A and B are shown apart, each in its own frame.
Chain A
Amino acid sequence: MAFFIDFAKILLATCRDVLPIIVLIICFQLLVLRQPIPHLRRLIVGGVYVVIGLALFLAGLEKALFPLGKIMAAQLSDPTFIYGPEAAVAQADWKAYGWIYLFAAMIGFATTIAEPALIAVAYKANEVSAGTISQWGLRITVALGVAVGISLGAYRIVSGTPLYMYILAGYLVVVAQTIFAPRNIIPLAYDSGGVTTSTVTVPLVAALGLGLSSTVPGRNPALDGFGLIAFASLFPIITVLGYAQYMHWSVNRSKKSSKEGNHAI
């Protein structure tokens, strides 16, 4: 029974998410475009699928995966797990947190693969590029970026180094890559930073950040707990641009070598 009340709440929240979009589209169709909406029946059925699907998805996550992920984040960052019982630690030793970095990377990768917004963008990119950008290729590249980002973000919280230094360095890398990357991929690469952080990734990553910053000695959750999401948005840009550069380079090289081969013949 309690589950149905929870589900109804989530369903209501999803409806509230969709409501402004519906109102906006109806207003524009009736007042500005003055046209009936084409394929209305199909749209409504699809809209109902979106709302119910998203609500089921979130209800399932909240029932099963979020509590478990949050407990695990807390357990892994617990000083007794890291330093052993009865070890009084005043200064955090960043080398002792190996499992945390691995957990951060793996959970970042796994949640990004399941992120519906990224699935949508990969679908669109595949369609628009007439199949040259593969859906799984893009999703795995983005997920690897998130994995590196979250892991580095966890290291930042443990070591207590300032956030803006990492962001500044990341931005510089992105700018340098932008100069050399194939132009077609740049907008998509920038977009993939924004889509990684929504329904699945944010709750688990926020729990990890909060868990770490409240248990690592000398960290303040108010100051150090934030910022992991910024890492998760920055690093996918770098990996997508890097992958595009690599593909570009390897295609050019094989073209070149086949040309040389032809000359030899």
Chain B
Amino acid sequence: MLTVNTRVLFVALKKLQDAFTDLLPIILVIAFFQLVVLRQPLPHLGEVVLGALLVVTGLSLFIQGLEMSLFPIGEAMAHALARKGSVFWLLSFAFALGFSTTVAEPALIAVAGEAAEIASQGNLIDPGEESLRGYALGLRLTVAFSVGLAILVGVLRIILGWPVHYLIISGYVVVMLMTMIAPEEIIGLAYDAGGVTTSTVTVPLVAALGVGLASSIKGRSPLLDGFGLIAFASLLPIIFVIGYGLIVFG
């Protein structure tokens, strides 16, 4: 009993140490700039140390949970759906996963609200409360729809075995063409929208889904076909947000 407990303790300590290593660069950068460049003592040192301890504990718990739940469930769902053999349900799961995890994403809600403010300052939309809220909601639904569609296309690609770079490069070409005709106010926002959509909980699940699917379909390599879903989820929102801007600002 004692040996089991010591082993658990050892593993936990190892995880804490790993997490501390992950955090160390941030601590060093902040300390360097604070002490050497700005030449100021660290304010609220106690709080900072407490916060760093929380970050380290949280990160090691998260990694532990990742190995226990997010990875296995993602792969198990991919295997079960592949075994069922229904492309319809596989694609529905892919779309629903992308849409549902994005639509309520706090980062996206914040960005959409900010974008509505900017659009109204630029006299692109009516400055009324109602139209601001409508614009922000429309933006959120557009991004969530595009992420759902991205995961769907990515899964379809794994099933059909298309090479990822043709799709991504065509996506880039579309982005560049749309950038030329889009209003300036939407471009920076659209480029950033690709980055905010992929949250910390969604990424491991989507990665496990792709890898699980690629390893359960004959003739697919997990490395070559399993990755790429996140790339689609970062690219399609750019295209859709620019498209939304073109339609709304018309």
Are B33 and A72 in contact, CB atoms less than 8 angstroms apart? Answer: yes
Q: 1/0 contact trace for A160-181 toward B, CB 8 Å?
A: 0001100110010011001000
Are B200 and A199 in contact, CB atoms less than 8 angstroms apart? Answer: yes
CB of A18 within 8 Å of the partner chain: yes
- From known contacts A187-B225, A191-B231, infer whether A229 and B192 are also in contact, taking CB-CB under 8 Å: yes
Chain A CB within 10 A, most for which of B43, B80, B211: B80
Are B228 and A190 in contact, CB atoms less than 8 angstroms apart? Answer: yes
Q: 1/0 contact trace for B88-115 toward A, CB 8 Å?
A: 0100010011001101111100000000
Q: Which residues of A contact B49 (CB under 8 A)?
A: 64
**In the assembled complex, how far is the CB of residue B16 from the closest CB belonging to chain A, in whole angstroms?**
12
Are B169 and A175 in contact, CB atoms less than 8 angstroms apart? Answer: yes
Q: Which residues of A contact B226 (CB under 8 A)?
A: 128, 187
Are B70 and A50 in contact, CB atoms less than 8 angstroms apart? Answer: yes
Q: Compute how far the CA of A45 lies from the CA of B67 in the bound complex, rounded to whole angstroms.
A: 11
**Nearest neighbor of A128 in chain B, beta-carbon distance:** B222
Q: How large is the interface on A (under 10, 10 to 19, 20 to 34, 35 or more residues)?
A: 35 or more
Are A190 and B168 in contact, CB atoms less than 8 angstroms apart? Answer: yes
Are B26 and A58 in contact, CB atoms less than 8 angstroms apart? Answer: no
**In the assembled complex, how far is the CB of residue A61 from the closest CB belonging to chain B, in whole angstroms?**
6
**In the assembled complex, how far is the CB of residue A71 from the closest CB belonging to chain B, in whole angstroms?**
8
Are B25 and A68 in contact, CB atoms less than 8 angstroms apart? Answer: no
CB of B125 within 8 Å of the partner chain: no
CB of B127 within 8 Å of the partner chain: no
Contact of A63 among B51, B96, B194, B202 (CB under 8 A): B51
Q: Compute how far the CA of A230 lies from the CA of B30 in the bound complex, rounded to whole angstroms.
A: 24
Are B65 and A47 in contact, CB atoms less than 8 angstroms apart? Answer: yes
Q: Which residues of B contact A46 (CB under 8 A)?
A: 64-70, 72
Q: 1/0 contact trace for A56-72 toward B, CB 8 Å?
A: 11111111110011011
CB of A95 within 8 Å of the partner chain: no
**Nearest neighbor of A34 in chain B, beta-carbon distance:** B84
Are B29 and A50 in contact, CB atoms less than 8 angstroms apart? Answer: no
- From known contacts A24-B93, A227-B191, A233-B195, infer whether A194 and B37 are also in contact, taking CB-CB under 8 Å: no
Q: Which residues of B contact A228 (CB under 8 A)?
A: 192
- From known contacts A33-B80, A72-B33, A174-B172, infer whether A116 and B62 are also in contact, taking CB-CB under 8 Å: yes
Are A106 and B200 in contact, CB atoms less than 8 angstroms apart? Answer: no
CB of B217 within 8 Å of the partner chain: no
Main secondary structure of the interface of A (DSSP, over half): helix
**In the assembled complex, how far is the CB of residue A43 from the closest CB belonging to chain B, in whole angstroms?**
5
CB of B142 within 8 Å of the partner chain: no
CB of A246 within 8 Å of the partner chain: no
Q: 1/0 contact trace for A12-29 toward B, CB 8 Å?
A: 011011101101110010
Are A17 and B105 in contact, CB atoms less than 8 angstroms apart? Answer: yes
CB of B213 within 8 Å of the partner chain: no
CB of B234 within 8 Å of the partner chain: yes
Are A226 and B191 in contact, CB atoms less than 8 angstroms apart? Answer: yes
**In the assembled complex, how far is the CB of residue B210 from the closest CB belonging to chain A, in whole angstroms?**
9
Are A28 and B93 in contact, CB atoms less than 8 angstroms apart? Answer: yes
CB of A113 within 8 Å of the partner chain: yes
Q: 1/0 contact trace for B154-184 toward A, CB 8 Å?
A: 0000000001110011001001100100001
Are B97 and A24 in contact, CB atoms less than 8 angstroms apart? Answer: yes
Please tell me which stretch of B1-9, B52-60, B133-141 contacts chain A, meaning at least 4 of its Cβ atoms lie within 8 angstroms of it.
B52-60
- From known contacts A25-B77, A114-B26, A124-B71, infer whether A190 and B188 are also in contact, taking CB-CB under 8 Å: no
Are B59 and A128 in contact, CB atoms less than 8 angstroms apart? Answer: no
Q: Compute how far the CA of A211 lies from the CA of B165 in the bound complex, rounded to whole angstroms.
A: 36
Are A38 and B71 in contact, CB atoms less than 8 angstroms apart? Answer: no
Q: Compute how far the CA of A259 lies from the CA of B201 in the bound complex, rounded to whole angstroms.
A: 48
CB of A92 within 8 Å of the partner chain: no
- From known contacts A43-B68, A103-B33, infer whether A167 and B22 are also in contact, taking CB-CB under 8 Å: no
CB of B196 within 8 Å of the partner chain: yes
CB of A49 within 8 Å of the partner chain: yes
Are A113 and B25 in contact, CB atoms less than 8 angstroms apart? Answer: yes
Which residues of A pack against B, CB within 8 Å?
13-14, 16-18, 20-21, 23-25, 28, 32-33, 35, 37-39, 42-65, 68-69, 71-72, 75-76, 81, 99, 103, 106-107, 109-111, 113-114, 116-117, 119-121, 123-125, 128-129, 163-164, 167-168, 171, 174-175, 178, 183-184, 186-188, 190-191, 193-200, 202, 222-230, 232-233
The 11 sampled A-B contact pairs (Cβ below 8 Å) are A20-B103, A33-B81, A46-B70, A49-B62, A55-B58, A56-B55, A59-B54, A110-B29, A175-B172, A190-B168, A194-B230
> Can you name 5 extra interface pairs (CB under 8 A) apart from A35-B80, A64-B54, A184-B221?
A38-B76, A72-B30, A103-B29, A191-B207, A194-B198
Q: List the 3 closest A-B pairs by CB distance, nearest first.
A: A64-B51, A46-B68, A46-B69
